[in-house]
Homo-oligomer: A and B are copies of this chain.
Amino acid sequence: MADFKEYISTLNGLKFDKMYQNDFFLTWEKTDDELRAVWTVADALRNLRERNISTKVFDSGLGISLFRDNSTRTRFSFASACNLLGLEVQDLDEKKSQVAHGETVRETANMISFMADIIGIRDDMYIGKGNAYMHEVADAVEAGHKDGILEQRPTLVNLQCDIDHPTQCMADALHVIHEFGGIEKLKGKKLAMSWAYSPSYGKPLSVPQGVIGLFTRLGIDVVLAHPKGYEVMPDVIEVAKKNAAASGSAFSITNDMKEAFKDADVVYPKSWAPFAAMEKRTKLYGDGDQAGIDALEKELLKQNAEHKDWACTEDMMKLTKGGKALYLHCLPADISGVSCKEGEVDGSVFDRYRTPLYKQASFKPYVIAAMILLERFANPAAVLQKLEKRGQERVFRA
């Protein structure tokens, strides 16, 4: 896309000083320049690594990861990013440490942070909880640093919450930017963020919400498509509307998958659970009402099954721009005839896009590393240049 000097020059033209010593919660809390800084630093780090130049900026220090769900992709992406920069990952396993809320969060956050430079949290299960929990942790270590308890103020990276999945969506966007040849090429393109049928239920809303909240800022016309009853968080709809207005793009919602796919340049068909149902589930969990949860699950599966026609089939793909829209997915996908009988996408469609899909995922470690670098260093451009000049080999050469 660009060479190293261009990345540095791009960075020098951006304003992102408020990212330093700060957290990354939601993409729409960041300015356009700040997002662009993340992509640019990610590309620059990748460029250095490809040239076998070490990007270790920490000689020691911990990267704390806290996953409230099982995770392979994001866990490995976070571990890769930390390793790339020289931080050692230390997992806080809730089953081992019984993290709770309130005072306990404040205490635990400080206790694990004496030598932590970064904290990555994934907490996407309950509406109104995940993002709030991350803020609790951030506030606790901010106070701990001010009170002289923590020598450094560890900053946070949101590895997926109930509202947004910023490391995923920023990686998705960087992939799209690379595929289309630059941010400036995205103006006027059309992206369909569509619900798709899955035989499982309760998939998080953070990806569709993150996508409509982010891509509307890139000048892309975004269509959100889902069957009636599968609405996402109203607040995020407002975000998407405002972002589209600001960037001069369009944002619309439809209950017709075909309409969304028509002439789309990018499609992102993916299952999610209705926001209202997730709110209900959160309440049932809070009440410890297992019978209620079981009943809700049954109901949701039944509701899903009414929309098996919401699938990214070959016929659907034909509707897209030249029949060749870029197909995106955060993976793993429910592939019809492969991982399930009927699912989100046809096996032949998925297969054709396997390489770009895996490339899409490959941006995540670099996006996370870029967020860390921007949060921890006042002058990332100078850091990158000094790394290049130092020229320490990542892999020994003889």
Interface on A for B, CB 8 Å cutoff?
Answer: 49-50, 54-62, 70-73, 75-77, 79-80, 83-84, 86, 88-90, 92, 96-98, 102-104, 107-108, 110-112, 114-115, 117, 144, 147-151, 331-332, 335, 338-339, 355, 358-359, 361-362, 364-365, 376-377, 379, 382-383, 385-387, 392-396, 398
Residues of B within 8 A of A92 (CB): 72, 76
In the assembly, what is the distance between CA of A46 and CA of B386, in Å? 27
Are B84's CB and A60's CB within 8 A? yes
Taking CB atoms, residues of chain B closer than 8 Å to A57 are 395-396
Chain B neighbourhood of A98, CB < 8 A = 70
Q: How far is the CB of A99 from chain B (nearest CB, A)?
A: 8
Q: Are B398 and A386 in contact (CB under 8 A)?
A: yes
- Which one of A150, A358, A379, A392 has the greatest number of beta carbons of chain B within 10 Å? A358
Q: Are B76 and A394 in contact (CB under 8 A)?
A: no
A338 contacts across to B, CB distance below 8 A = 102-103
Q: Output the least CB separation between A233 and chain B (Å).
A: 28
Whether the Cβ atoms of B395 and A58 lie closer than 8 Å is: yes
CA distance A50 to B49 in the complex (A): 30
* Cβ B115 vs Cβ A84 within 8 A: yes
The answer to whether B355 touches A61 (Cβ under 8 A) is no
Assess the B359–A107 pair: CB atoms within 8 A.
Answer: no
Assuming A88-B83, A398-B383, is B72 touching A97 (CB within 8 A)? yes
Of B76, B111, B387, B392, which contacts A73 at CB under 8 A?
B111
A151 surroundings in chain B (CB, below 8 A):
49-50
A71 contacts which of B59, B96, B102 (Cβ < 8 Å)?
B96
Other A-B contacts than A55-B60, A72-B108, A83-B88, 14 sampled, CB-CB below 8 A, are: A58-B396, A59-B392, A70-B96, A71-B96, A72-B92, A72-B112, A73-B111, A79-B90, A80-B114, A83-B115, A103-B338, A104-B339, A111-B331, A382-B398
Residues of B within 8 A of A79 (CB): 62, 88, 90
Closest partner residue, chain B, to A74 (CB atom): B111
Given known pairs A49-B151, A111-B72, the reply for A59 and B385 (CB within 8 Å) is no
Q: How long is the Cα–Cα vector from A150 to B386 in the complex, in angstroms? A: 26
Which of B90, B96, B110, B355 is in CB contact (< 8 Å) with A148?
A: B355
Check B144 against A358 for contact (C-beta < 8 Å): yes
CB-based contact A331/B395 at 8 Å: no
The smallest C-beta distance from A114 to any residue of chain B, in angstroms, reads 5
Question: How many whole Å from A159's CB to the nearest CB in chain B?
Answer: 15
B395–A376 CB distance below 8 A:
yes
User: In whole Å, how far is A84's beta carbon from the nearest beta carbon of chain B?
Assistant: 6
CB distance from A37 to the nearest CB of B (A): 16
Q: How far is the CB of A204 from chain B (nearest CB, A)?
A: 17
Distance A395 CA – B56 CA, assembled complex (angstroms): 9
A358 → B minimal CB distance (Å): 4
CA distance A88 to B79 in the complex (A): 9
B residues near A385, Cβ cutoff 8 Å: 398
Q: Which of B88, B104, B110 contacts A358 (CB 8 A)?
A: B110
Could you tell me if B49 and A54 are in contact, using CB atoms closer than 8 angstroms? no
Closest to A350 in B: B103
